[in-house]
Amino acid sequence: MGTIKAVCTSDIKGIQKTEKDSITLQPDWGIEGDAHAGKWHRQVSLLPYERIEEFKARGADVVNGSFGENIIVEGFDLRSLPIGTRFKSGDVVLELTQIGKECHQHCAIYHQMGECIMPHEGVFCKVIEGGRITAGDEIAIV
């Protein structure tokens, strides 16, 4: 069992996301109001809380959403999970579709720190069942 530490969105791709009180997810679409929503395999991005905290301990000045992540999750080594893994939080079911991503242009974090954790620690999911998620909610692998 894990915990959702934060939920974030942005209405433009390629920028830092803004932390929200909650998000609403639509099946086979993604998060309402988020630029990455659509009928594709990277509808929602997740990043492990533990890796963000390690990065901060090395001097990174980041806040929730800085890496462009939608959901920050504590309790799972996300990159070690196989494609097809499903997560459940309340009514929401997400399916892992991609681990990591290619970084085409270096973000502000990369220029500040010499690296960014999203390309190798972040994972992407599609929404199987929709609903609402709030920071503090439990999340489980099903």
Burial of 139 (0-12, 13-18, 19+ CB in 10 A): buried
Q: What is the 3-state secondary structure (H, E, C) of 77-138?
A: CHHHCCCCCEEEECCEEEEEEEECCCCCCCCHHHHHHCCCCHHHHCEEEEEEECEEEECCCE
Number of Cβ atoms within 10 Å of the Cβ of 32: 13
Residue 45's CATH number: 2.40.33.20
Number of Cβ atoms within 10 Å of the Cβ of 68: 22
CA torsion sign for 129, 127, 12, 111 is positive
Q: pLDDT of the chain along its 142 residues, tens only?
A: 999 999 999 999 878 899 999 999 999 999 999 999 999 999 999 999 999 999 889 887 889 998 889 999 999 999 999 999 999 999 999 999 999 876 656 555 554 655 666 767 889 999 999 999 999 999 999 9
Find the domain containing 100 and state its range. Answer: 2-141
Locus of tokens 């939080």: 89
How many domains, the chain? Answer: 1
